[in-house]
Structure 1
Amino acid sequence: DADFIPPTWFIKRAISYFAKPNIGFIQCKWGHVNENYSALTQAQALSLDFHFLVEQRAKSNSRLFMNFNGTAGIWRKDCIDDAGGWHTATLVEDLDLSYRAQMKGWKCLFIPDIVVDAELPVQMNGAKRQQFRWAKGSIQCAIKLLGGILIQRKITFDAKLQAFVQLTRHIVFPLMLIQFLALPVLLAAEVNLYVVSFLPVVTLATYLAMGPGAYLYVIHNMYDKNWKEKAMAMPYLIIYSIGMSVNNTVAVFDAMVGRKNEFLRTPKYGIVKKTDDWRTKAYNLPFSQTTLLELFFGIYGVFGIFIAIYSSNPIWVPIIALQTIGFFYISLMSFTHTRFKRGNSRIDYTKTKDEKMAGITFKLATVGIIAIICFGAYTGYVGYQNDVYPVDLSIGLLDRIMASSEPKTILADINAIKEYLPVEGNAVYLFPTDTTNFARIQTDLNVMLASTEKISAVPRDSSAFHTGMMDLSLRAEILQENLMDIVPYMYASISNIIFTCFWIVAIIGIFVILKRKKQNLESFDKAEGV
């Protein structure tokens, strides 16, 4: 690629590996001229080093499928022709061709000793575009090639399994989002999610051991002396990878529904030193609609943290918080890395009236989007505080009633529950029953209140006292189950659904305006030959 800087001796040294006639292509390691420019470049550099020094090296030394990375390598022309040439059906024609070549029996080599330096994307929107292209292209290749790989007899089972994992690995991003969305709901519903019910900390320890712990071990083996310096970028990589899950999920679904995209290249600015600045360059990508989704998931994560705390499941807070930080990091970087203006140019350019209006529109739209999101977050918080939280508190108090044998405490808890819950109405709007009617629940609480007052006058060591307490505990358990049935409908109430629809329509409306402005500017540029 144009931004790669091969050493002067590259061809002389690399061509020698083609002495064997069955070698179809060689892949060299990517270097990074701007690795220490920012946390973003450090995260990308570490991720690419993992890919080359661990993944590519292992596949090259075995009989597994190895992919060509699109640059920093050499192909044998006969291999390209035998494999069917370059195809344009996917966004990753390099991955496609390398798999087809190996299915034909050609071998490939990874040469870690030959390093070709290149520039890493320094703008978040550029990095997201690159990740989108890779994620979508991989799924496209999976759809195109996996069937042939699985039925081909000469390919070993472990190679088939590895090909399946590599080509479909971006499916993990939709799964991450599903887990992220489901976790607060399951916690609110008091579903037991612990790996070992009597030792919740094992859950968190398992996450740490399977993820960061394993990566640190690999970093130590990869970099030897300067591994501590490289390990400092590990938190950046975790946050970056998690935050990219929204962008890559969109890419996965884009590939699965068969939508074709043009190849959108990643902007490069010639950034090498820390003092270099890309913000004045003309080739500057704005944030996309995906950024709003990332911001939504970040706000959702904040609510998820509160739910984990209030549902007495603090062990899940670090996991939700880590994902939330990732979503906020990616979205805020996307916003701050957006510039709706032309860069410095040698030509003295005067903006037209339409372009000036477009700039103002973009700024107003950005403010409007942020305002709508903040308003939505505020109303969501108020709605939870006024509607859902009192029910959650009541569920907790009923739990305490079941465990208590002190009538005075039970009386206080019942009176508190009566204050928290509505006097009438039924939150369940689909197939409602009398058990979820608040008027019925208030009546049951009054019965419990009267029973508790009678029990308080009975000697504690009498059978009547114990029978009465058992009856109260049973009633409390039934009421708790009824309230737990109500909670999901409180979250998805009709008013919340209507408000959410208006909220989404408002954001979409702003983007429609932006799209029209963009089309007008593009039409102007074409008309003027810009």
Structure 2
Amino acid sequence: MDPLEIAVVVAYVAVLLVLSLYGSHRYVMAYLYYRHKYKLPTPQGRFQALPRVTIQLPIFNEMYVVERLVEAVCKIAYPRDLLEIQVLDDSIDETREIARRCVERWREQGIDIAYIHRTNRQGFKAGALENGLKLAKGEFVAVFDADFVPEPDFLEKTVHFFTDPGIGMVQVRWEHLNRSYSALTQAQSIFLDGHFVIEHTARNRSGCFFNFNGTAGVWRRETIASAGGWQHDTLTEDLDLSYRAQLAGWRFVFLPQVVAPAEIPVEMNAFKSQQHRWAKGSIQTALKLLPRIFASDLPFQVKKEAFFHLTANFAYLLMIPLAVLMPISVIVRVSHGWFEVLLLDIPFFAAATLSVCSFYVASQREIGASRWQQLKYLPFLMALGIGLSVNNARAVVEALLGHQTGFTRTPKLGVRKAGEPVAKKRYKAAITWQPVVELSLAIYMTYGILFVIDRGVYYSLPFLFLFQAGYGYVGLKSLLEGTRDLWARLGLMQAQPDVEPGA
């Protein structure tokens, strides 16, 4: 082998090694989950006199879901003289009038609810929460995003944990209103179940840091202030504040048995926009806080888990070179008769892929899904995770380069059942160049598939098929949605009557 061929194989194995390390960490999460599964959190006591609570509802252009949100929050069972609701509206469309009228209706029914509208989006969601906090009357602050529909007993099941003066935040598990809408929403639901059911429980009950998820949680107001308040130098203000609060000595509680239903994106481009924000924000938070974490006197286990948690999205950055190197590596080794060396891939792929399968199967089993439900989406889940790598790798690179972008909201369309129309909905994710790259990688993987079939190296086919299917599905679906939305926008523009400039 010449030096270039050796370099290709070495680089390929190195990438696989790092990815298998991150993949194997899921085994650690599963182990910690089952080890601490029955360590159920219970409140230290119950308030004799209930505290005042403020519920903040940050919204931006949420015309399809804002009334549903406000109605659900106003029906939360809590003494009316101790409950305050803030609708923090930064909208620039009809949502303003819809939300204002909705607030007035509920205020007339005796609800202490305020409509707070900002004329700028400084700090985006973090800025809205910070602004609302200046006016809030509550000792404790709950937050719900626009796509949530909290249960009436939400506060009854969470607030009493604050009888322990060391508890700074209580987070509940997300449930999914439109889980069965499509294969895409099914896959997203499984992704989120793994995060909440396994990861959150494992981290919280083993004494490691975990995070408030931006919604469906309650904060002690003192905790927010002592940790430095809401800051907007990352795209994940929730993750940032969570780690700062725990560094300051506050303890958090996760309640997997308490759920808050929410809508998840039904369109690929909206899903990718959300994933991009989460991936970029997590790396920004890692760059900001990992030095403080490593310099602290926290136990090694806590530091190690914080590292894996905050840097997990680096794996997506490595998926791109893996995709490029995989067919080349196979060609190089086969051309030199190194069929046996190809077998070294199997342990790496087992660590990087089988761990993911077992992780998500465990999460579905824990929420009571049937055996068929646990297994049938696994290939699609794996392919979708691979297909997202271009999108999330871009997010990681932007974070590493310090490229600042605004907070891009995830469009909420208020749909639950399959067949509900979305094409005519106003809110759409931005159209990007990414589908071209994703489809190019799918075509490239097709060449690798044809090569290994020709050479009879059939064991490589499942991995190549996953990469081809993942990039092909994500790229094609994104492109079709973008084309549809572009034509819809052009049609809308043509339908507008001509007006004088400045009219």
Shorter-chain TM-score bucket reads: 0.5 to 0.7
- Greater share of strand: 2
Partner of 1:340: 486
Pick the structure with greater CA Rg. 1
Overall identity of the aligned pairs, in %: 36
- Seen in structure 2, the aligned counterparts of structure 1 residues 63 and 187 have a Cα distance that, compared at 3 Å, is same
Could you say which structure has the greater relative contact order, defined with CA pairs below 8 angstroms and 6 or more residues apart?
2
- Seen in structure 2, the aligned counterparts of structure 1 residues 188 and 169 have a Cα distance that, compared at 3 Å, is same
- Seen in structure 2, the aligned counterparts of structure 1 residues 211 and 193 have a Cα distance that, compared at 3 Å, is farther
Partner of 1:228: 372
Between the two proteins, the alignment pairs up a number of residues equal to 356
Post-superposition offset of 1:185: 1.5
Partner of 1:133: 277
Q: Distance in 2 between matches of 1:212 and 1:84?
A: 36
- Seen in structure 2, the aligned counterparts of structure 1 residues 132 and 207 have a Cα distance that, compared at 3 Å, is same
Partner of 2:322: 179
Q: Distance in 2 between matches of 1:213 and 1:264?
A: 31
What is the identity, as a one-letter code, of the residue corresponding to 1:340?
L
Partner of 1:290: 434
1:169 pairs with 2:312: yes
Mapped contact 2:193–2:364 kept (Cα < 8 A): no
Q: Distance in 2 between matches of 1:297 and 1:200?
A: 24
Partner secondary structure for residue 29 of structure 1: strand
Mapped contact 1:67–1:94 kept (Cα < 8 A): yes
Post-superposition offset of 1:159: 0.6
Post-superposition offset of 1:92: 0.2
Post-superposition offset of 1:100: 0.4
Q: Distance in 2 between matches of 1:334 and 1:198?
A: 34
Mapped contact 1:68–1:94 kept (Cα < 8 A): yes
What is the identity, as a one-letter code, of the residue corresponding to 2:224?
I
Mapped contact 2:361–2:374 kept (Cα < 8 A): no
1:87 pairs with 2:222: no
1:148-167 Cα offsets, whole Å, 9 max, x none, are: 000101x1101100000011
- Seen in structure 2, the aligned counterparts of structure 1 residues 142 and 71 have a Cα distance that, compared at 3 Å, is same
1:46 pairs with 2:190: yes
Partner secondary structure for residue 5 of structure 1: coil
Partner secondary structure for residue 180 of structure 2: coil
Partner of 1:27: 171
- Listed as ranges, the matches of 1:191-202 within 5 Å are 197=341, 202=346
**Normalised by the size of structure 2, how large is the TM-score?**
0.66
Q: Which runs of 5+ in 2 are unaligned?
A: 1-144
- Listed as ranges, the matches of 1:263-412 within 5 Å are 263-338=407-482, 339-342=485-488, 350-351=495-496
Q: Distance in 2 between matches of 1:166 and 1:195?
A: 37
What is the identity, as a one-letter code, of the residue corresponding to 1:87?
Q
Mapped contact 1:60–1:108 kept (Cα < 8 A): yes
Partner of 1:406: none
Partner secondary structure for residue 28 of structure 1: strand
Q: Which runs of 5+ in 1 are unaligned?
A: 354-523
Post-superposition offset of 1:245: 0.6
1:291-320 Cα offsets, whole Å, 9 max, x none, are: 111111111111121233345433212111
**Normalised by the size of structure 1, how large is the TM-score?**
0.62
Partner of 2:211: 67
Mapped contact 2:365–2:374 kept (Cα < 8 A): no
Post-superposition offset of 1:239: 1.7
1:431-466 Cα offsets, whole Å, 9 max, x none, are: xxxxxxxxxxxxxxxxxxxxxxxxxxxxxxxxxxxx
1:244 pairs with 2:388: yes
Post-superposition offset of 1:343: 7.5
Post-superposition offset of 1:113: 1.7
Partner secondary structure for residue 265 of structure 1: coil
Q: Distance in 1 between matches of 2:461 and 2:172?
A: 42
What is the identity, as a one-letter code, of the residue corresponding to 1:95?
L
- Greater share of helix: 1
- Seen in structure 2, the aligned counterparts of structure 1 residues 146 and 222 have a Cα distance that, compared at 3 Å, is same
Backbone CA RMSD of aligned residues:
2.9
Q: Distance in 2 between matches of 1:137 and 1:333?
A: 25
What is the identity, as a one-letter code, of the residue corresponding to 2:486?
F
Post-superposition offset of 1:235: 2.5
- Seen in structure 2, the aligned counterparts of structure 1 residues 201 and 66 have a Cα distance that, compared at 3 Å, is closer
Deviates more, 1:318-327 or 1:210-219: 210-219
Partner of 2:35: none
- Seen in structure 2, the aligned counterparts of structure 1 residues 110 and 46 have a Cα distance that, compared at 3 Å, is same
Q: Distance in 1 between matches of 2:441 and 2:422?
A: 29
Partner secondary structure for residue 214 of structure 2: coil
